[in-house]
């Protein structure tokens, strides 16, 4: 069964500090891996999308890495801000027989990040 | 900036009743999706829709569920006979192509009593 596992489940850091969130997946066949940010009661917002050929991708203070061989990804947040407090979700898209994505996404449970002043 | 909109924001219904959740995807997007998130749990894929037909659906999306694009702008999810376990936040999403970034709406919280 396709699964996406994230660690840690929750994380508390001080404003201005960096942090790294981890993701392991077993989704196959693999199309791409996405990181989303979800504020409480809101819809997820995309941060990055990476295909198997991409090792790293940045979006401002967010940097995602992907190791398609070990099926691991990480999201690094630098110089955290209070507004970074949210759930960060690792999401993997399956490939269809043609190698592209159906768009069917498998979500992880998310890491709840709390940034304290 | 274009965004996905959903109505209503909160729907309360009695068990066994039919509900229709509505979404307006971003106008130039071709792929549409429904997801649900039970309180405290992960987001789950329900269905993807392209070219006026379902392209993929999950095991959750049984005969009680249906989707429709009744006109050029709306995308709806119908639950024919709601059950208590259908209580969840339902998110609509859209993308240009299936491999692109999916943009999510704010969600409809469905409460089945």
| Count of A-B CB contacts under 8 Å | 61
Mean pLDDT calculated for residue range B29-39: 94
- Residue B50: CB atoms within 10 A of its CB come to 17
DSSP three-state, residue A45: strand
Q: What confidence category does residue A52 fall into, taking pLDDT thresholds of 50, 70 and 90?
A: confident
Please indicate if any CB of chain B lies within 8 Å of the CB of A27. Answer: no
pLDDT over 80 at A36, yes or no: yes
The residues, ordered by sequence, that sit 6+ positions from B72 with a Cβ below 8 Å of its Cβ are: none
Q: Does A5 touch chain B (CB under 8 A)?
A: no
Which pLDDT value is given to residue A101?
A: 64
Nearest to A100 among B99, B102, B103 (CB): B99
Helix, strand, or coil here: B25?
Answer: coil
Convert the pLDDT of each residue in A8-24 to its tens digit.
Answer: 999 999 999 999 999 99
Cβ proximity of B4 and B25 under 8 Å: yes
Q: What is the pLDDT of residue B24?
A: 97
Least confident of A42-51, A71-80, B16-25, B76-85: A42-51
DSSP conformation letters of B50-107: ETTEEEEE-TT--TTEEEE--SSS-EEEEESS--GGG-EEEEEEEESSTTSPPEE---
pLDDT band at B100 (very low <50, low <70, confident <90, very high): confident
Question: Is-contact A35 A48, C-beta < 8 A?
Answer: yes
Task: Please determine, for residue A104, whether its predicted confidence score (pLDDT) is greater than 80.
Answer: no
The residues, ordered by sequence, that sit 6+ positions from B70 with a Cβ below 8 Å of its Cβ are: B76
Q: Would you place residue A102 in the very low, low, confident or very high pLDDT band (cuts 50, 70, 90)?
A: low
Position A100 confidence tier, pLDDT thresholds 50, 70, 90: low
**By percentage, how much of chain B surpasses pLDDT 70?**
100
């Amino acid at each position: 069964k396709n699964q996406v596992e994230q660690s840690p489940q929750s994380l508390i850091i001080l404003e201005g500090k960096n942090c790294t969130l981890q993701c392991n997946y077993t989704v196959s066949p693999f199309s791409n891996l996405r990181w989303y940010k979800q504020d409480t009661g809101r819809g997820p917002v995309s941060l990055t999308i990476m295909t198997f050929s991409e090792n790293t991708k940045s979006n401002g203070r967010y940097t995602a890495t992907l190791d398609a061989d070990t099926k691991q990804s990480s999201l690094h947040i630098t110089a955290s801000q209070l507004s970074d407090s949210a759930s960060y979700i690792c999401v993997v898209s399956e490939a269809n027989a043609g190698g592209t994505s159906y768009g069917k996404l498998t979500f992880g449970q998310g890491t709840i990040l709390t940034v304290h002043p | 900036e274009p965004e996905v909109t959903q109505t209503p924001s909160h729907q309360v219904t009695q068990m066994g009743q039919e509900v229709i959740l509505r979404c307006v995807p971003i106008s130039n997007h071709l792929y549409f999706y429904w997801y649900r998130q039970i309180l405290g749990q992960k987001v789950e894929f329900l269905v993807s829709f392209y070219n006026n037909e379902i392209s993929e659906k999950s095991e959750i999306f049984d005969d009680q569920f249906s989707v429709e694009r009744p006109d050029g702008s709306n995308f709806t999810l119908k639950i024919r006979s709601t059950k208590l376990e259908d209580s969840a936040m339902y998110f609509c999403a859209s993308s240009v192509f299936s491999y692109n970034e999916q943009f999510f709406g704010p969600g409809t919280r469905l409460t089945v009593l």
